[in-house]
Amino acid sequence: MDFTANYDMFLGEEHEMLRQTVRSFAEKTVAPHIREWDRSGAKADDGPETREYIRPVLKQMGELGLLGICMPQKYGGAGMDYLALAVVCEELERVDSFLRVVMSVHTGLNSMTLFQWGSEEQKQKYLVPQAKGEKLAAYCLTEPNSGTDAGAMHATARREGDSYILNGEKTWISLADVADNFLVFAKTDPSKGNRGISCFIVERTMAGVSSHPLHGKLGVRAGNTGAVVLQDVRVPVANRLGEEGEGFKIAMAAIDNGRYTVAAGTTGLIQASLEASVRYAKERQTFGVAIGEHQLVKRMISHMVRKLDTSRLLVYRAGWMKNQGRRNTRETTLAKWHATVSSFESADDAIQIHGAYGYSDEYPVERYLRNARGAIIYEGTRELQELLQADFALGYRDNKPLRKELPAYDPEEWGG
């Protein structure tokens, strides 16, 4: 069965061609090595020097146009729409989550934020090389003592003439050790709370920027995650993104895009769990028949089918709204909540179907479970998504447009 069929109300032929290209890349380049890479990432002494595979893989993603898939060609991108971004994330995470995390951080959180909020000068200097894959980018919001409560950050940015002096530490930063550029959020006026936060484009080569890897992760072991430290980093005023004090609004807009990529990617993880379960259920026999004949196994597989379709439809609705240039915080939040929880439940059922073998990394389903668990936390916890949906329903929050909405997709202008 083709689990990606019958979505032509959202997708066109170009999306299906893209799907096959990304699937071929992920299956040929990453799938044969991912168990080894995942194992190496579990080592306590692992660091960027032991991950020689990361940059070549990211280089190939850039050459395929994936890192700028939904950026206009005039900014170095592939000129495709936001639904194309969802397709890319699905297919990458179908093989391993670390691939999709690259899209979430580099494209969703950083490049799309530059596209939405950046000046033309900033777009030419930073967005163009990022969309081409010539530079890698990361997003620095979380700190050791501030996660969901982003307004509790301690990082500061003090104005000195034509520069800001940044100090602080960011943690749980994907691509911390390999990114060239960072979007960094810091308080320019601590007395104003969330309204005193500003956003800055920081280059790794700026004096005072350093990073180090985090060890012992439960999942996404093949990818790089670390801390970024800022010690008296002098950043030009020209590198401030948006207005001073607008950083919190920019951060939340960026997270909308990040959540969209997470929702799309974990939809691909649901599909991976389903495919592995169907394959095993047809091969494994107990009591003289394939285990797929047993009703309780059928029940788990049918639940995966339901979760895959509902997750994908929610993601594609959010992508369609992005294409129209419409605010989609409610829809994206719902997609992220549903898809991430569904991916964990599907991976858990996949392990159950595999039995004892599912508990071993000889089969991929245990890796799916470990990877899926993180997505329920990052880009906004499961509990936060629940509260947001309740607030929208109760009228405590609105879905009104921002000062700068993500640009609507225009095939003629974008060159796709």
Report the percentage of the chain scoring pLDDT > 70: 97
**Residue 262: both structure tokens together:** 């997470």
- Domains contained in the chain, CATH given: 13-136 (1.10.540.10), 138-247 (2.40.110.10), 251-414 (1.20.140.10)
Amino acid residing at 81: D
- Residue 48's pLDDT band, with cuts at 50, 70 and 90, is very low
- Residue 402's pLDDT band, with cuts at 50, 70 and 90, is confident
The pLDDT of residue 415 is: 86
SS3 content of the chain, % helix, strand, coil (to 5): 55, 15, 30
- Residue 49's pLDDT band, with cuts at 50, 70 and 90, is very low
Convert the pLDDT of each residue in 206-237 to its tens digit: 999 999 999 899 999 999 999 999 999 999 99
What b-and-e string marks burial along 352-389, b requiring 16 or more CB atoms within 10 Å of the CB? Answer: ebbeeebeeeebbbbbbbbbbbbbbebbbeeebbeebb
263 and 83 in contact (C-beta within 8 Å)?
no
Convert the pLDDT of each residue in 343-374 to its tens digit: 999 999 999 999 999 999 999 999 999 999 99
The pLDDT of residue 45 is: 47
Between the CA of residue 405 and those of 184, 290, 324, 360, what are the distances in Å? 20, 52, 11, 46
**Size (the chain), residues:** 416
Convert the pLDDT of each residue in 60-116 to its tens digit: 999 999 999 999 999 999 999 999 999 999 999 999 999 999 999 999 999 999 999
The pLDDT of residue 112 is: 98
Active site residue ranges: 379
